[in-house]
Amino acid sequence: MRILRKLRLGALLRGFSLFLEDVNPLYPIIFLACLITIFFLKSSIEEEMGKLKSRQDWSTATDSIFHVGCIDTQEYLIDPVYQKQNATFIMLARNNELTDVLSTLENIESHFNQWFHYPYVFLNDEPFTEEFKREVQNLVSSESSFGILNEEQWTLTDSVELNENIQLQGDRDILYGDNPSYHKMCRFYSGWFYRHELVQQYEWYWRLEPAVEFYCDLTYDPFYEMSKSGKKYGFTVIIPELADTIPTLFRSTLSYIKENQINVGSLWKLFTLDYHLVSNLTTILDKLINYPHEIINQIEDDIAIEYLLDTGLNDNETTMLGLQKLLSRSNTKVPLEINKFSDLRYNLCHFWSNFEIAKIDVFDNEIYQNYFNYLDASGGFWQERWGDAPVHSLGLSLTLNISDIHYFRDIGYKHSTLQHCPNNVYNGELSYFATDERWQRQGKQNHYDKGIKTGSGCRCKCPDSAELEDNQSYCQDIWIDLIKDNNPNKLREPIFEYNELKSALKKDFNKKN
């Protein structure tokens, strides 16, 4: 949007420049009038842009930002109520990723950990080099631990079938499907990271990746705030998964739920589309109705057919309508919903798990652990390319409710090509202070984006590129709707009861006929 506006504005200015080549005393006045018009047009566009969801206040009783804008970190830390949590950063990295690892650490130290000094856990499938450990420890302001993954945690079954499946995924252009290490990473993060001995000593974790960027300062302790508010899992990005990477994951999840009689949490609503819209449907209608817009039409057809059967053939419009509906239904095939299982469908939404702040026990519990074991035994981590993000999301929904989740809207974050960066708070910027000379900010480094009244970030400096909230997926819309719900932890129920709806529609039918 910004690029298009700049191109259009540039084209207008170039046109005016050409216009002025044939000089006339009135032309400068005309040119000035045009500039004024453009200025007000630009202001109007910006006013419309202000209505975008990234500029709205999404705070609800269910979830809101812990501290809007900057707070005084020094005062925060000495508050007797504040308690540092038993928490750590976790990063899976290789020795040859040292440059990207250091880049991430510079980001997180500068924007957060220089004030809070939480430790780090680094994990690798091979021993870290002395250079890696030395460079890391020299950079960070806290202790670091370096662990190795064992064969069970990292190795996939070495078989001809495995290699053939991975090769076939590459042939079908499945993203990362032909990369064995990616399959191993997804499996490790799905069911092993929280069981590593270096992680087990902590209650909370914050997942990091090599080469991620943070755009804002975080002047409060997210671990403490989550603990205080009863939150268990925090995210920054929610997006749809690529369907061809997980064709059977949801079916396997439903099988696990059914076999173990799991009562899912209300978080399940964030990730599923429920086809069971009307209770007590007849058998045929239960097969024919899948979407809300089909409900009334199908029940009205039922009423017209019943009228025909009750009154017999008569030469009137209502009878002919019933006959038409009867013939039409007799030729109607039951629609095939290939991704519909037990009246449910996975909507592909998932928390982008390369950023997570969460309690260890949201995964380290019997239900989730058995869920991972069930998936692992099915072979889906290598027969398909199951990502840890959808596995985490569906697995969390087995036990957690909407109110257990927190959206870290005020954290500016980028990984790969996707990013989220919030607006600053208008007049909410406090002076930055560094605890070490390395993190001093001079000149432009100490200037930040202009704030707005509905902003949430602290000293954010956002890149001039696509913002997820301005181009958000339907997944974020679902999240917003759920936290606006007065009873978000209530499980989804059918919208209508068949007999009640039919009775109301029948009265209307009789009036018309």
Q: Where does the pLDDT of residue 73 fall: very low under 50, low under 70, confident under 90, or very high at 90 and above?
A: very high
The answer to whether the beta carbons of residues 352 and 389 sit under 8 Å apart is: yes
96-124 confidence digits (pLDDT tens): 999 999 999 999 999 999 999 999 999 99
Which carries the bigger pLDDT value, residue 225 or residue 507?
A: 225
Q: Is residue 50 over pLDDT 50?
A: no
Residue 160's Cβ-count burial label (10 Å; 0-12, 13-18, 19+) is: exposed
Cα angle 498, 502, 506; round to 5: 175
Q: Is residue 377 over pLDDT 80?
A: yes
Q: Is residue 1 over pLDDT 60?
A: no
Share of the chain above pLDDT 90, in %: 58
Q: Which of 234, 232, 230, 227 is nearest to 82 (CA)?
A: 227
28-47 confidence digits (pLDDT tens): 444 444 444 444 444 444 44
- Rounded to whole angstroms, the Cα distance separating 57 from 494 reads 30
Query: Mean pLDDT score of the chain, rounded to an integer?
Result: 86
Q: Is residue 21 over pLDDT 70?
A: no
In sequence order, the 6+-apart residues with CB closer than 8 A to the CB of 260 are 367, 370
The two three-digit tokens of residue 106, written as one number: 């510079």
Mean pLDDT of 180-199: 95
Residue 366: active-site member: no
Amino acid 340: pLDDT: 67
Amino acid 265: pLDDT: 96
pLDDT-wise least confident of 123-137, 332-346, 403-417:
332-346
Each domain of the chain, given as residue ranges in start order, spans: 2-49, 278-336+493-512
Q: Where does the pLDDT of residue 329 fall: very low under 50, low under 70, confident under 90, or very high at 90 and above?
A: confident
Q: Looking at 233-328, which runs of residues are DSSP E strands?
A: 233-235, 238-240, 272-274, 278-279
Amino acid 360: pLDDT: 98
Mean pLDDT of 386-410: 97
Q: Where does the pLDDT of residue 339 fall: very low under 50, low under 70, confident under 90, or very high at 90 and above?
A: low
Q: Where does the pLDDT of residue 298 fall: very low under 50, low under 70, confident under 90, or very high at 90 and above?
A: confident
Count how many residues are written for the chain: 513
Amino acid 37: pLDDT: 46
Q: Looking at 78-134, which runs of residues are DSSP E strands?
A: 87-92, 120-124
439-461 confidence digits (pLDDT tens): 999 888 889 999 998 899 999 99
The answer to whether the beta carbons of residues 87 and 205 sit under 8 Å apart is: yes
Which carries the bigger pLDDT value, residue 14 or residue 395?
A: 395
Amino acid 337: pLDDT: 63
The two three-digit tokens of residue 215, written as one number: 């755009």
Q: Please give the backbone phi and psi of residue 235, each rounded to the nearest 5 degrees, phi first.
A: -135, 165
Instruction: Name the active-site residue from 356, 384, 429, 469.
Output: 356
